[in-house]
Amino acid sequence: MSATVFDPAQYDQQLAEKVVRLRELLAPFAAPEPEVFDSPREHYRLRAEFRLWRENEERFYAMFAPGDKHTPILIEDFPIASRRINELMPRLKAGWQSSQTLSFKLFQVEFLTTLSGDALITLAYHRPLDEAWQREAERLSADLGVSIVGRSRGKRIVIGRDHVDEEMTVAGRTFRYRQPEGAFTQPNGEVCAKMLNWAYEVMGERTDDLLELYCGNGNFTLPLATRARQVLATEISKTSVNAALHNLADNGIDNVSLVRLSAEELTQALNDVRPFRRLAGIDLKGYDFGTVFVDPPRAGMDPDTCELTRRFERILYISCNPETLAANIAQLSDTHRVERCALFDQFPYTHHMEAGVMLVRR
């Protein structure tokens, strides 16, 4: 990952600049003043990825300035990462420095942690992993008290579990989440909790149904399902679908049907363009969708999916790229207006921000 300029003294000014930028993007749509949700100033990032740099027979955690992949910045700690990651960094380094088996051709390390204190470390190698590596990794896992995943050219060896367990409290109820290694998770846990509570409040108590696109591991699905009669959720990643199914069952949520379809495929199904075997047993015409919830990738919604959302009374939209959010709102502005908007500072000390809007039919 790229190095971030960490300067807490600049945080408030940088956040104010983001608010100005979001206002500018949403001004053409007469949006209300954005609600602003800030981040902890340090130790907010729950996952981190480091390349390793070899110097004088020793390997160091390394990061790189944006646009420069050849000049490493060697680090011993990482103040924007969770306290758990910072506690594990020197202990893991000591582990590979004391073991030729663990350090040989090790080129990348990934940490995945949770607000509840769980942790998993992924070690990536430019060589096959053998039984000797597994024995050393098992010893290291026991010493550190974490699960370890070894990766090498498509092969994966899991020591312990291949996931971490997280908890998020929304409107007084605690939801449990399984977060698989290698799958997308929100990087800033405390801001994620603020996003979930905002979406829950904006959704309101409903007697009709919710359609969710890009549901991931069920991050928003779990709390929003308690606000709707029924939910139809879609996701394309098999790993995320399996995690979402586990999370729904683990939390006793039984009003959600989850299908592995892309947003584009669901659009085709709803428009009767063609049938999908993965929708067998699901009566699309039996739903009374009052709200569609979307949390698309940085590219935003494609034009067809954007047109699909137009048919719904309410569009709840979480965006990791307000530029494409504004472009999508422009496509919808003749039929929908912005009723609520919010800025979530998921990525302090960068120009990136997360935004949320509730669009309602005019």
> Residue 349, annotated ligand binder?
no
Sign of dihedral through CA atoms 16, 22, 23, 25? positive
Question: What is residue 118's three-state secondary structure?
Answer: coil
Distances from the Cα of 170 to the Cα of 93, 197, 201, angstroms: 37, 5, 10
CB atoms within 10 A of CB 139: 14
**Which pair of tokens denotes residue 276?**
């999908």
Buried b (16+ CB within 10 A) or exposed e, 341-350: bbbbbbbbbe
H helix intervals, the chain: 11-26, 83-97, 100-103, 131-144, 189-203, 221-225, 238-250, 263-270, 303-310, 322-332
> Residue 100, annotated ligand binder?
no
Contacts with 81 (C-beta within 8 Å, 6 or more apart), sequence order? 43, 45, 46, 48, 111
Q: Given 264, 320, 323, 339, which residue is catalytic?
A: 320
Question: What is residue 37's three-state secondary structure?
Answer: strand
Q: Is 354 a catalytic residue?
A: yes
CB atoms within 10 A of CB 186: 25
Q: Is 320 a catalytic residue?
A: yes
Helices 303-310, 322-332: axis angle to 10 degrees equals 50
Distances from the Cα of 317 to the Cα of 12, 87, 135, 200, 354, angstroms: 26, 36, 47, 12, 11
Buried b (16+ CB within 10 A) or exposed e, 189-221: bbbbbbbbbbbbebbeeeeebbbbbbbbbbbbb
> Residue 214, annotated ligand binder?
yes
> Residue 186, annotated ligand binder?
yes
> Residue 323, annotated ligand binder?
no
Distances from the Cα of 65 to the Cα of 41, 62, 236, angstroms: 21, 10, 33
Where is the binding site, in residues? 186, 214, 219, 235, 295
Active site residues: 320, 354
Where is the binding site for S-adenosyl-L-methionine, in residues? 186, 214, 219, 235, 295
